[in-house]
Structure formats: structure tokens, C-alpha cells
Structure 1
Amino acid sequence: MQKSLVIVESPAKAKTINQYLGCKYIVKSSIGHIRDLFTKKTKKRDGIKKSSSMLNKKNNLIYQIGIDPYKNWKAEYHILPGKEKIVTELKKIANKVDFIYLATDLDREGEAIAWHLKKVIGGDSSKFRRVVFNEITQRSIKNAFKNITYINMHRVNAQQARRFMDRIVGYMISPLLWKKISRGLSAGRVQSVAVRIISEREHIIKNFISTEYWKLNISLFFEKEKNIIANVTHYKNKIFCPKNRTELNIAIKKIKKSCFFVTNREDKFSYQLSPPPFITSTLQQTCSLYLGFSVKKTMFLAQKLYEEGYITYIRTDSTYLSEYAVKQARTYIKKYYGANFLPKHPNIYSDMKNSQEAHEAIRPSNIKIKNINTTHLNSDAQKVYTLIWKQFISSQMSSAKYQSSTITITADAFELKKDEKIVIFEGWRKILKEEKNTSLEISLLKTGNLLFFNKIIPIQKFTKPLPRFSEASLVRQLEKKGIGRPSTYAAITSKIQERGYVKLKDNKLYAEKMGEILTARLKKNFSNLLDYNFTADMEKKLDSIAENKIEWKCVLNAFFKDFSKRLEKAKKNPEEGGMELNNIVMTSIDCPICKKKMGIKNAITGVFLSCSGYNSIPKKRCKKTINLISLNEFDKNHKIKKIKKINQCKKCKMVMDEYFIDNTLKIHICINNPSCLGYEIEEGHFENLNYLSKTIQCEKCYNNMILKSGRFGRFFLCIKKECKNTRKILPDGKISDPKFEPIPFPELLCKKSNAWFVLREGISGIFFAANTFPKSRETRSPFVEELAKFQHLLPEKIRYLANAPKVDAKGNKTIVCFNKKIKQYYIGSKEEGKFTNWSALFINKKWCIMN
């Protein structure tokens, strides 16, 4: 009997697919990529030494990045660490089967993984086949095996071209940035453009000057106990917009003396088309808006749903729906909502320009599953599924119908408007967004009706700058500009934060100082890399490579030739057109240790003051630094009293950033720093900021801890280097409680490995984690009975948890839970993998059962 090997990317997907294929197939997982380009690090690890022939620039570059742009882009690949056993197993099985089906994802990345698998496994190439499916269902998988294809090398080459360009940019610019700006910096071909978008928005916000204006509403009545509120829109046929209270008061005096007549009434019907089904970017945006999920979290949950067979493939920019899916949706709508909610013809949506693949939109695999009921997926994944299900069903429903009415009221030279809209037919909004049907207040008013003055409602307003980007709106902006693709959005948003160029606070992205400096330097020396059109055109070229319209190595050659010229120029001195240095800007502030002047420095960890004595003879070097805390670091509710307003640099007339040195001293630094030397010192007393100059004692070694600022916010760090103990500063300005050391529980064994559990403390309270972390990432919540058994091991601050009820009213084991909002432990219980309504709280030194 013939046997076949099917290789997929994830173990979860392998498990799901295995249910649908018979005993003729062996389904195995590669667990993502198995091969990558050689690097300097991997060669050192594998014992490959740098030979004498590698001393020149060209060979040194090849040695570092594993690509040879001078020899027709020859690439060196290696098996990724930890994947050796997987490769050995796949090779062993491959030798015993008749066919090998590469069933990796259907995007370019999946195509490249399939190609790498074929190369690594080797052997008879005629045994290899390629199968792709948009959803992990029995119907889809059977169809895929009826339509077998082969690896598409054009798509593989498109993926390699992207990978090679990103590699060149990252590895060749980084050493330059370390030398010219600061250690630890790196540049990304697409990520740097994303940082530019955020930095430019940051400059617009900082330089924005708010202006006052007023709106005027008038309350009018026309029958007993019937009144409306109309907005004054025009005066003498010009838009009415008073700039101050004086102008408003003049208008109010005039309008009070006027008579109010309805001079026009307009009634019309309007329709709102149903929204298209989700693509990757719109799913990310909707999950951010309604669920508060990050782009990275949304993609993680969606990937789980796809692997479990609940939804179709998640990386797509196409709104296309298969005939089968549309038919299923229309049948469902007619049965459960009625024929009125079903349009005569299926709704068809046009795709964006440059849509990468002819994939389907994201939709449920089985429309009959409205809500997921499984222990394999958590409640967050179920929420994402519900959004996808509702969006898909509503996309094939009838339009919503409205009646809109507008009346125009004239009062001498003033014109007032009143608009109202009611729902005549809900259509798709019945499922996606239910609306209450209200009656029109102005339904009785007709042209010529007289209205009577009731009261004035003035509203003071101030112009606002464009809002800061959220992760979701950044993705929307990247998509609008044609930058990146569905498979890269999550990586872009997470990398720019991980590298410290951008900070997420209150769901808004703030450009960090180093991100702004990096953007300015790259924009000047590598203008094409940060140019929106250039980056978008490169995406189109990658699409053309995948479609076999252009040759991939020609694109790489043109890119590398231009890039190399710009790089050589950037390496020169600034006077010769090279990249500008990140120089220290000296201030009048004395060093508290050696009394020399301190200067403003910028690094990946933030902006700080550094003693000029650091550049002295090593033995006499002063290493004193003072952290500067940006005004953006503070919580919205944190009250900061301003002594005086300094908002413009005297040297270049640009806006200035505000930083706290301590609770009595503030420094204003020009946003063009270090290119501009402008700064100003502000003295005073800043309320509720005493901890800025505070030192606390380390609970581990009893040395002092000092305030520092890093990529993830403010924290206290022990001055003893060997200790490395830290305490976070919470959003409300309070210092976090000390965390206890991990407690070993060797008696409690892990299920997924041979490891045992360790009790740790994190932002979500205590939890059990494998002692071999990160090799094994198994974690779980502790049962109360486990803590009770090992009560003697627990630190005093959590020992009370061991005395909580061990079982609930039904005999289910109880679990330690943590409320992150109020930072409080409570006890819950689970039945068949789901939380019950039973809970217990520790109140007045005793456990109280809540329900």
C-alpha cells in the first residue's frame, strides 16, 4: 500500500489535518522555518573560523550575512538551532514513503518554507508535491489533494528578494549607526518607514498651536413641551465661527432679538451598504477598536483559530469570497433572518490595488458554528471568532435604510440647521450593530412654521492636532501607502517597539527621541529607504517577481548598487556629506560628583545627562549620569503644575521637549537636539513628583536603588552591578512591590516536557512555569491545594492564599486568580475546562465566598 508524507508548519495544524486524511498519510510538522541564512554568530557557534581570505570588505560582508551580492547573490543556508531532530525525522520518513506533500501556508513565506523543506530532505525530486488550502476543513483538504501543484519558484524568489534586501539593510547600516549615533541601533527596510510615519506625526502634534473657537446652539420650542436644539451655521451667508467670547456675545445679542422661521425642509431616504468581510488589516483594526487587542495578539489568536479549523487563512488583502461560502451565507441569512435581509444578488466587493494574492477574505470555515465551545481556545480567541462570524454574515445581508430630515431655520441674517436620521430598515446592522429606532423630533415641523426662543447654549472649542497613531491606525496608514503586506504588519508594529524607537502608551504610539534622531539621519543619507513611494514601489516589484514579470536578481542588483553608494557616502565625515554624529550638547548643570559640566546625551534607553568628565583619562573618568523623565511618561491623571511656559527654542524657533531632572528642576530641550544646541532650565516645585529624586533600599542586597529610564518605562535599579534587582514605576507614579525569588517545586511535574514547575511572580500575579524556561514555555495557574501542601515554601505576603477553600460547592478544585485592574488575588474554579461563577475573596483577614 502506498504511503505519503504530508508536511505542515504547525503541530496544531498537523493534528487537525490528521483527522481528515486516512491511514495512507503520515502528517508531520516542521514547526515553522527549518532553515535560514548563515550569520557570523551561527558560524562561530558551528566552529567555522574566519579565514585569511575573508579580510577584505567584500568577503567580510559575506561572512557576516551569508549572502554574496558579488557572485550572483549566492546564499549560504543552515539548519536552525533546535530543528536538527525534526529534519532527521522528516528525512527518515521521506525515505520510506512514495510521495511527499508540502502543505505549508499559501503565502510566499509558506512557499519558501516548502522549498527549504524540499532542499533539506533531498532525494528524488519527483516525489515532492505542493498542496495549498485556504481553510483546514475536510472539504477544502480533499479538494487540495485533487488539485496538486508544484513549488512556485517565482514566489520563492520574491520571498528571497525581500529577505535579502532586509538582510542587507539591517546588517550593513547597523555598524554605521553604532559608530555615528549609539550602540544597539538597527535599521529595517520597512520598519524604518513606519518609525518615520510616527515621528512625523509626533512633530506635527508638538508644533501644533491650538486656537479657540465657539459653536452656538439655540434651544427653540414650537408646541407645548416640544422643543428642538438647532445649530447656528451661517451669518450673512458666511460660515458662523466666532473666534472668541466677545464675537460670540455680539452674535447672541443680535439673535435674541430675532424671529425664528422654518424656511426649508428636506426629507430623503439613504442606504448604507453592508461592510466587506475582513482582510488582515481590517481584522487587526476592529480587534483593536472593540477588544483592545494589539496587532500581535490579534494575529496570534487568529492563527490559533485557523489551525484549529475554525476560520480561513488569515494573511490576505483580498475581499473575495468563494461561490461555496456565499451560497452558505445566503442560505443561513434566509433561514434565520428572513428573505427581507437577503439581497437579490450576492454582494461583491472590489479589492485594493496591488492585492498580493487571489486569496479569500477571512471568514468562518463552518457558518453553522456561531460560538466556539472548546477548551482548546481561550475566551479572547472566541471573541475574535465572533467578530469574524458577524462580519462575514453581515457582508452578505441587505443594505440598511434610513430616513434623513433636515430643516433650515432663519433668524434675520442667521441660519440654523437641525438634522435627524431614523432607521427604516436595519438590514446588515441587525447583526453587526443593532440600532434603536427613534422618532423624529422635527417630524411635525413644516416650511413657514414659527418657533420661539428658549435659551442659548454656547460651546467653547479648541482646535486639536491630528491624533497619535494606534497600532491599528498605523497598519491602516501603511496599507494606504502600499507599504508592507498582510504577513508583515504584526512584525512591523512589534519590532519598532521592541527596538525602543516607539513607545505604546494608552493605546497610542509615541516616537521616542532615538526614533526621531534615527529617522532624521536615515532620511538625509538614505532618502530612498525612507521614501514612501520608493518603499511602495519595491512592494510592487516583489509582486511582479512573484508573477514572473521581472527577474528577481535584477531588482536586487539595482537596489544594492544604489544602496552601496549611499552607504559609502554616509560613512564619511559630516563635513563631507556623511551622516551627522549624535554629539553631546553641553549644559550649565554641574556634575554632583566632580563638579564638571554635564551634557545632554541620547541613547536607545532614552535622554539623559552625562558628565563631561567621562572623556577624561580612564582612571579619572567620571561616570555620573542623571536620567531625564519625559512629560509623556506620566499618567493622564498625574497632576503637574507648570511654573512658566517655555515652548519655543531661542536658537531655531522650534518647539521644545520637557523633561524632569528632579522634583525641583526641569529642562526644556529643542526637538532638533542634538543638531540644535538650544535648551532652557526651569526651576520650581513640581507637585507629586518627589519620587524623581528618591532613593529606595534594595530588598536583596540592602544597597540603594536609583531611578532609571529604559525601553519599557521608568524603574529603580540597584547600584550594585552584581545584584541587578529592579522595581517598576507604575502608571500612577507608585513604586511596585518587591517580587519574590522563583520558588522551585520539583514535586510538581510538567505535562509537556520532563521539566518541573517553579512558582514565579509576574504582572498577572503568581504562576507556575517550567524550570527549563525558555526551552519549555509551559505555564499554568496554581491550585490552592498545591499551595496548601507546600505552604512552608511560600513567602509571607502570599501565604494567605494557601488557606483559601480547596474546592468549590460542587467539589471542583479551586485555582488562584489575579485581577490586574485592582491588583488583587481571588479564588476561582473550573468545570470541564471552563470557569464557573464561583469565587472567593480575602476580606478582613478571612476568605469570603461570593456566590
Structure 2
Amino acid sequence: MAENLLIVESPAKAKTIEKYLGKGHKVLASYGHVRDLLAKTGAVIPENDFELKYVDVEKNKKHIDAIVREAKKANTIYLATDLDREGEAISWHVVEILKDRNLLKGKDIKRVVFSEITKSAIQEAVANPREISHELVDAQQARRALDYLVGFNLSPLLWKKVRRGLSAGRVQSPALRLIVQREDEINAFIKEEYWTIHGKLQLGQEPFESSLNIYQGKKLKKFDINNQQLADQALEQLRSQAGKQLTLTELTQKKRQRKPAAPFITSTLQQEASRKLGFSARKTMQIAQQLYEGMEVNGQTQGLITYMRTDSLHLANDAIADIRDVIGKKYGQELLPKEPNTYKSKSKNAQEAHEAIRAVSAQLRPKSIKSALNNDQYRLYDLIWKRTVASQMINATIGTVSADFTFGDDHNLRANGSTILIKGFLSVYEEGMDDVKQDKGDKHLPNLKKGDVVDVNEILGTQHFTEPPPRYSEATLVKALEEFGIGRPSTYASIISTLLNRDYVELDKKRFIPTDVGKVVARFLETHFTDYVDYDFTARLEDALDAVSRGEKEWRPLMKNFWEPFIKLVEEKEESVSRDEAQDKRELGTDPESGKPVTVRIGKYGTFVQIGSREDEEKPRFAGLLPGQKLDTITFDEAMALFDLPRDLGETSEGEKVSANIGRFGPYVRYGNKFVSIKEGDPYSITFEEALVLIQEKKIADANRIIQTFDDGIQVLNGRWGPYVTDGNKNGKIAKDQDPKALTHEQCIEILAQAPDKKRRGKKKTAKKKVAKKTSKKKVTKKKVTKKTSKKKTTRKKASKKKVSKKTKKKTSAG
């Protein structure tokens, strides 16, 4: 029987730790969270002091049961989940489960944390336990509850006003706004012309380049020469006055120091792995998790890096000593600074008890353990190891030279060069840069001195145009999220994944482009929920959650301050915002043939052009956009051309004409007066033979759909929600106790007689709409009644009197 039970999050970690602790210890994994909020309305009850209703995570039931079984036998239960808020909350939830099952009597509950999975770190943690941090648990609960309340109230509003299946999140929405705003900047960008002037010079046999710095006695600004005519005038004057030779009039030499980059934190690791390895944020975190949990190296399983979710730049003293030892032996004592380099975190909430992401031992050089790792693991470990070591090396010393050649009417050509005098940390590692056109190498200058006469080989001009700001890459988006205070290190990967999975953004050449639906959602939220996607508001809320985690604020008042104005705004927008307004519908013009309006908007299956409106007697015409066409930029002519696009493919053996096109519901093949969707490929490349296969499959599916057919056209069909009766105009529901195959013609007629009429288009619908508007006005005047109804909708039933949230302060014997 194991006297001690230790609970971690992952099985890989459990296996390694059990080896370190030996007999008398049983280590089990929770496989992540063991409880979560009820996945439906009513899990957070604002009216009941923000009571939270938790349920066991179903997929982890067998792991929970295993923990319960072993807990019965154990004397001491060690909670060894991760050292962040999520890990703290998992430990608390484990204790709550054990408490609900009356298993804590006579048990010692201890919380242990460690930032690396090594024998010494694990044994030290177990020897020095602490209590559960209820401040961290409160912060995690508040974050989860906030995200839940935003999602469960904003998302249904998007379904109603824009289209079903959309979602809005507390941090994902400001992140989407960043991407959409950047795209708007790019679309609004107007390029400007400018010219640069270069002198190709030579000293003896060594050619070098210079740039026009001063022209006619004035410092040259970027747009001073902004067209061909001005460039030609300047070149003519410079060439005639420079002649064949110039004298070096001023030589300036300087030295500058370049400091090594700080060791990695979560955000910088994600950025650098994106730049240098091409990894997504999610892939980086997955591989880092593997390196943290441990690999078998030299016959022993151990973690290779410290915990990968951190915003602390702190390095432990013994780690620094280990790093300095490796630097001295491998690179030379001259590359060691007299005192260790220290780095200060920008994050207010960085906990110095945590460490930066580093190799657990600098002695484990990447090449020496390469055989124990796969290629991706090796590349990431190599990156972390090098950054760790470089952070404790001396500065690099860069020598710079500026050579000025002044001539004629006070013109100046300047040649710049630089060279690395002392490599320092650059011997090991150099940080990457984003969106900067870097020189391939240092510009070489000959050994120049004042008074030297150089040959002028050529003076020439180069035309340039300004470029729009670049789209976000994963690296620059993570950097922006960090700078704006949107989310925290552990959330960046999930924010990006959510945006991609929801089809709010696409990746093209590793750059984020917002989709039409992403733009519509972002603009809807920015227009109607301005504060909640405001970067400062989001950052202040994150700071408030950090304050809760430090014990400086209570979480319930924070929730109340957020919730009351938020739900009031949701209720108001539900009444006041029209569907057309929410969908960002664009009016393109008028169809010359019918005189009907031509609009473009998003729908369930993508963006489409519509001729006419739902209120017309005739059904509107629809056409889907071509690849590359966008809601914001499609023109009237491009939109009208979509209706002339059907590709005639041929005829079926039954004489049905076959064509391909894109419609409101996406690409399709038409045969006769019937349609079949094109799931793969597109209507512009599909062949007649491929179309016939789709048609045949559709005919078989339709045949299987028919249960009975009567002479007058009445049919009994299998539908999406079960069998039903139809005459083409009305659909009748079949009772559960009726056999659809046995229905008589008379029974079908009776079912149809009781079925409601289908909604009709045209004038009657318009009349109904006016009535609806009238009703809506009444609702506005009876504001109190509306609010009451809406509150009931949000809160559903009141939960049991047992307040889960209060447990945080006094539940476990650990706290």
C-alpha cells in the first residue's frame, strides 16, 4: 500500500516522478482538468453571488476514479500539478472531489510545485510543501467565469444577428480586431514614390557604396526627391560637380555595445520559434511540453527544460553557476562577464519564484543528446539551450565607420560600414527580427583615412514606393498581444487556434488575413461592444485578474463590475440592431434589367451577391463570390458578372442539362431543375464526368429518401428530423406511433390538412413586418418587463443553496 499519493497532470510526468520518489509513493495523472463549468446556460449565476456550477470532466472519469481509489489508501496526498493558475485550480478541484466523497478525514493534503522535472527539484518540492493558493484559484475561477459569461451571451447574439455557429470571446475578439484593423490599414494604404541616390566609389582596387546624405546644403529627407524629373535634375548636378574623383572630408569611428537577449519566456519562445523554426505557437508549446515532461537521456528519464508557461526572466543561482561553468570551458573565460547578467521582467505579475524557460542543465549540450530527440524536439531544445547560454555571456562590441565626401554646392555622399570587434554572445546566438529588411552582412569599407582621394565610378538613382504595413505573422501577433496586454502567456496559442478554427482568419504565406466573416464579426463587436474589444479595457481586466492572483482584489466585485453593464448592453443590442446592419450588408447598385437592388453580404455558406430582397414577390437571385473576391472590395460589375458564370457541361442520358456554378450555398452542379453541392474542387474545373458522379450519388440519396409516393404527388419522405408528409407546398409531421411505410393516402391528406402553411413571400410578409415593428416599439417602452424576461433567460434556474465559490476560501485542509 502506497502511503503517499502524488497527483500530477500528465502521464509522462507521472512516470518520471514516480521513479524519482521510489517506494511508498504512487503517482497518478489527472489528464488535465478534472472538473469544469457546466457546459450550458446556468453554470455561472450572477444573481447568486456568481455561484459556479461545476461538473466532473466526463472524458477524465476513469482517471478521477483511479485518483479516488488510491486516495482511500493514502495517508498523505501531494498535489503536484503545474505551478500556474490552471495547475493551482486543478489541485483545488481534486480536493473538492475528494471532499464531496468524504475521503479527506485523517488525510494530509499538501501542495508541491517545481519548475523542472529533475530528481533534486522533485525531492526538494516534496520536502517543502505549501498550502493551496486560494488567490490563484480565485483568479482562475474569475477568468473562466468571465470567459463563460461573454461566450454564452455574445455568441447567441451573433447567431441571431449574423449567422449560426459564430463565437465571440473575451480575448479572442480583441485579437481578431487587431488583424482586421491591420487589413483595413493595408486596403486604405496609398503608396508614395521616392528616390534614393547612390555613389559607387573605389579606393585603389576596393569598390564600396555611398548614399546621398546632404543635397544643396540640406539634410535629404525621404520624400524630397519623389519623381523621375527631380531625380534626373539631381543626378545631372551631382555627376557634373563630383567629376571623376572625390576627397574624404570627414571620417568618424565609434564603438557600440550590443547586449544579449534575455532568456526565454513563453511569448518570446513562441516568437523566436516562429521566426527561426517556422513553428506555430501551438506546435511550439506542444514540443516544449514534451521537453519539460522528460526524455530518456543516457539511460535516465528527466525533464530537459524548465516550465514553459512563464513570464519571469529570473534564473536560479545554481542554474547561473552551471551556465557560467559551460561558457568558461566551452567558449573561454574571456566571454564570461564579471558578474552574472540579470534581467527585469516587464510583467507586473511575473513571479520571481518561477524561472525563465531554460535548459535544466547547460551541461546537456544539444548535440550530446540529439539521438534521444526527434528532429523538432532537437531544434527547439537547441534554440532554448543557445538562448540560455548566450544570456549569460558578455556583450558584443560593434565598430562603426562613417566616411563623408562633401563636394560641389554643399552635397555630401556618406559611406557607412560596421564590423564585429568582439563577438561576445554572438558566438552562440543572435535574436531574430520581424518585418525588417536585414542586410545580408556588414557593409565592407576599405581602410579609409581623412584626405583619401577615391574614384567615382557611377552616381545613380533608384526609384522606390512606400509599402503598406505588413500583415501579422504568428510571431508579430504574439508580440502585439503581449504589448497590448491581451491574454497571458498560456493563452496565446489557444487564441490563434480559435481564430483559425472559427474561420475568422486564414494563413497565407504564414501571414494572417481576415475572412469576410471575421471582418463582419470584428466590426459588429467594435461598433456595438466598443469597450469589450478595446485594447486598454482588455488589458485593465487582465491586470485586475493578476491583482486577484496576488491577493490584492476580491474576484466577486470584479465580476459584478464587469457583468452588470455588459448584460445590459447585450439586451439593448438584441432589440436595437437589425440583421442587415449586423451583417455589414453592402449596397452595390441596381440591376438594370429588374430595377432591384444588388447587395453583397455573408451567409451560412460564405459571402454572396443578392439581386432583390426577401420582401419581393419573386424569389431573390443569388451568386457566390469567386476565390479571391471579398465583401469589402467586390465591385458592381464584378458582382453582376457572377450571374453570367454557369458552365454548361453537357446533358445526362435522361436529357437533363448539366451546368456548374457558385450560389448562395456554395458551389454546385445543376441538372434539370435540381442541384447537388460540390464538396471538393470548384465549379470552374469540375469535368462533365465528375459532375455525373455527383448527380448519380444525389439520385441514389434522393431515391433512398422516398418512403412512399402517391398519384397526386403527395410523398412520404425521410427528412433531417425524421419522416414527414409533403405535397410540395406543405410539410406534415408524422406521429411517433405511426409507421410511415404503412400510411394510407387518406391519412397523408389528413396530416397535411393539420400542417401549418409555409411562410409566403411578397406583400403579406411586408405587412407582417410592420406589425412586428410596432410590437418592438411597445417592448422598448416596457423596458422593465423586457429586462426581467432577459434576466430569466440568462440565469435559468437558481442553483442549489450550496455556493461553490465560497469553497475557495475555506474548503480544503490544505488551505
**TM-score category, normalised to shorter length:** 0.7 to 0.9
**Equivalence map 1:472-511=2 (5 Å):** 472-511=475-514
Match of 1:269 in 2: 255
Q: CA deviation at 1:24?
A: 1.0
Inter-CA distance 591–331: structure 2 relative to 1 (3 Å threshold)? farther
Q: 2 CA distance for matches of 1:478 and 1:275?
A: 20
User: Residues 554-573 of structure 1: CA distance to partner in whole angstroms, max 9, x if unpaired?
Assistant: 10011111212222221222
Q: CA deviation at 1:30?
A: 0.8
Inter-CA distance 213–446: structure 2 relative to 1 (3 Å threshold)? same
**Equivalence map 1:536-615=2 (5 Å):** 536-574=539-577, 580-582=581-583, 584-585=585-586, 599-603=599-603, 605-610=605-610, 612=612
Inter-CA distance 6–438: structure 2 relative to 1 (3 Å threshold)? closer
User: Would you say 1:207 and 2:188 are equivalent positions?
Assistant: yes
**Equivalence map 1:44-193=2 (5 Å):** 64-122=41-99, 123-124=103-104, 126-193=107-174
Q: 1 CA distance for matches of 2:402 and 2:255?
A: 12
Q: 1 CA distance for matches of 2:38 and 2:147?
A: 14
Q: CA deviation at 1:355?
A: 3.6
User: Would you say 1:230 and 2:210 are equivalent positions?
Assistant: yes
User: Would you say 1:293 and 2:270 are equivalent positions?
Assistant: no
Match of 1:764 in 2: none
Can you give the 5+ residue segments of structure 2 that lack an aligned partner in the other structure? 295-302, 432-437, 691-815
Q: What SS class does the counterpart of residue 110 from structure 1 fall into? A: helix
Q: 1 CA distance for matches of 2:439 and 2:550?
A: 49
Inter-CA distance 270–25: structure 2 relative to 1 (3 Å threshold)? same
Contact 1:500 1:605 (8 Å CA) reproduced: no
Q: What SS class does the counterpart of residue 284 from structure 2 fall into? A: helix
Inter-CA distance 574–729: structure 2 relative to 1 (3 Å threshold)? closer
Q: What SS class does the counterpart of residue 345 from structure 2 fall into? A: coil
Contact 2:624 2:667 (8 Å CA) reproduced: no
Please state which structure has a larger fraction of its residues in helix: 2
Q: What SS class does the counterpart of residue 432 from structure 1 fall into? A: coil
Contact 1:591 1:597 (8 Å CA) reproduced: no
Q: Tell me which amino acid in the other structure corresponds to 1:398.
A: I
User: Would you say 1:389 and 2:366 are equivalent positions?
Assistant: no
Match of 2:311 in 1: 317
Q: CA deviation at 1:626?
A: 2.2
Q: Tell me which amino acid in the other structure corresponds to 1:226.
A: E
Q: What SS class does the counterpart of residue 228 from structure 1 fall into? A: strand
Inter-CA distance 364–129: structure 2 relative to 1 (3 Å threshold)? same
Identify the match of residue 524 of structure 2 among 500, 506, 521.
521
Match of 1:216 in 2: 197
User: Would you say 1:363 and 2:344 are equivalent positions?
Assistant: no
Contact 2:202 2:208 (8 Å CA) reproduced: yes
Match of 2:698 in 1: none
Contact 2:201 2:210 (8 Å CA) reproduced: yes
Q: What SS class does the counterpart of residue 227 from structure 1 fall into? A: strand
Match of 2:17 in 1: 17
Q: CA deviation at 1:494?
A: 0.9
Contact 1:529 1:535 (8 Å CA) reproduced: yes
Identify the match of residue 340 of structure 1 among 334, 342, 353.
334
Q: CA deviation at 1:582?
A: 2.3
Q: Tell me which amino acid in the other structure corresponds to 2:359.
A: P
Contact 2:646 2:660 (8 Å CA) reproduced: no
Inter-CA distance 704–166: structure 2 relative to 1 (3 Å threshold)? farther
- Normalising by structure 1, we get a TM-score of 0.71
Q: What SS class does the counterpart of residue 125 from structure 2 fall into? A: helix
Q: CA deviation at 1:153?
A: 0.9
Q: 1 CA distance for matches of 2:465 and 2:650?
A: 43
Q: What SS class does the counterpart of residue 36 from structure 1 fall into? A: strand
Match of 1:674 in 2: none
**Equivalence map 1:774-789=2 (5 Å):** none
User: Would you say 1:446 and 2:449 are equivalent positions?
Assistant: yes
- Normalising by structure 2, we get a TM-score of 0.74
Contact 1:697 1:703 (8 Å CA) reproduced: yes
Q: What SS class does the counterpart of residue 531 from structure 2 fall into? A: coil
User: Residues 123-163 of structure 1: CA distance to partner in whole angstroms, max 9, x if unpaired?
Assistant: 21652211111011111111111110111111001001011
Q: 1 CA distance for matches of 2:496 and 2:414?
A: 43
Q: CA deviation at 1:402?
A: 1.8
Inter-CA distance 693–483: structure 2 relative to 1 (3 Å threshold)? farther
User: Residues 104-130 of structure 1: CA distance to partner in whole angstroms, max 9, x if unpaired?
Assistant: 110001101111111112221652211
Inter-CA distance 489–377: structure 2 relative to 1 (3 Å threshold)? same
Inter-CA distance 585–395: structure 2 relative to 1 (3 Å threshold)? closer
Inter-CA distance 729–381: structure 2 relative to 1 (3 Å threshold)? farther
Inter-CA distance 684–161: structure 2 relative to 1 (3 Å threshold)? closer
User: Residues 386-421 of structure 1: CA distance to partner in whole angstroms, max 9, x if unpaired?
Assistant: 100111011111111121111111122211111111
Contact 1:326 1:346 (8 Å CA) reproduced: yes
Contact 1:284 1:295 (8 Å CA) reproduced: yes
Q: CA deviation at 1:322?
A: 0.5
Q: Tell me which amino acid in the other structure corresponds to 1:561.
A: E
Contact 1:704 1:719 (8 Å CA) reproduced: yes
Q: 1 CA distance for matches of 2:282 and 2:423?
A: 34
Q: 1 CA distance for matches of 2:73 and 2:473?
A: 52
Q: 1 CA distance for matches of 2:663 and 2:143?
A: 35
User: Residues 782-824 of structure 1: CA distance to partner in whole angstroms, max 9, x if unpaired?
Assistant: xxxxxxxxxxxxxxxxxxxxxxxxxxxxxxxxxxxxxxxxxxx
Inter-CA distance 167–708: structure 2 relative to 1 (3 Å threshold)? farther
Q: Tell me which amino acid in the other structure corresponds to 2:227.
A: N
User: Residues 142-189 of structure 1: CA distance to partner in whole angstroms, max 9, x if unpaired?
Assistant: 111111011111100100101111111110111222222222221111
User: Residues 618-647 of structure 1: CA distance to partner in whole angstroms, max 9, x if unpaired?
Assistant: xx856x6422135379xxxxxxxxxxxxxx
Contact 1:591 1:598 (8 Å CA) reproduced: no
Q: 2 CA distance for matches of 1:407 and 1:149?
A: 64
Inter-CA distance 695–104: structure 2 relative to 1 (3 Å threshold)? farther
Contact 1:219 1:456 (8 Å CA) reproduced: yes
Inter-CA distance 201–703: structure 2 relative to 1 (3 Å threshold)? farther
Inter-CA distance 248–692: structure 2 relative to 1 (3 Å threshold)? farther
Q: 1 CA distance for matches of 2:545 and 2:598?
A: 49
Q: Tell me which amino acid in the other structure corresponds to 1:335.
A: K
Q: 1 CA distance for matches of 2:338 and 2:114?
A: 30
Q: 2 CA distance for matches of 1:719 and 1:100?
A: 67
Inter-CA distance 16–717: structure 2 relative to 1 (3 Å threshold)? farther
Q: CA RMSD in A?
A: 3.6
Q: 1 CA distance for matches of 2:289 and 2:49?
A: 37
Contact 2:609 2:639 (8 Å CA) reproduced: no
Match of 1:819 in 2: none
Contact 2:661 2:669 (8 Å CA) reproduced: no
Match of 1:245 in 2: 228
Match of 1:631 in 2: 628
Q: What SS class does the counterpart of residue 142 from structure 1 fall into? A: helix
Q: What SS class does the counterpart of residue 526 from structure 2 fall into? A: helix
Q: Tell me which amino acid in the other structure corresponds to 2:557.
A: C
Identity %: 34
Match of 2:423 in 1: 426
Can you give the 5+ residue segments of structure 1 that lack an aligned partner in the other structure? 41-63, 634-655, 659-666, 669-678, 739-851
Q: Is the radius of gyration larger for structure 1 or structure 2?
A: 2
Q: 1 CA distance for matches of 2:641 and 2:285?
A: 48
Match of 1:836 in 2: none
Q: CA deviation at 1:239?
A: 1.3
Q: Quick one: higher RCO (CA 8 Å, sep 6+), 1 or 2?
A: 2
Q: 2 CA distance for matches of 1:147 and 1:67?
A: 36
Q: What SS class does the counterpart of residue 20 from structure 2 fall into? A: coil
Match of 1:26 in 2: 26
Q: Tell me which amino acid in the other structure corresponds to 2:582.
A: L
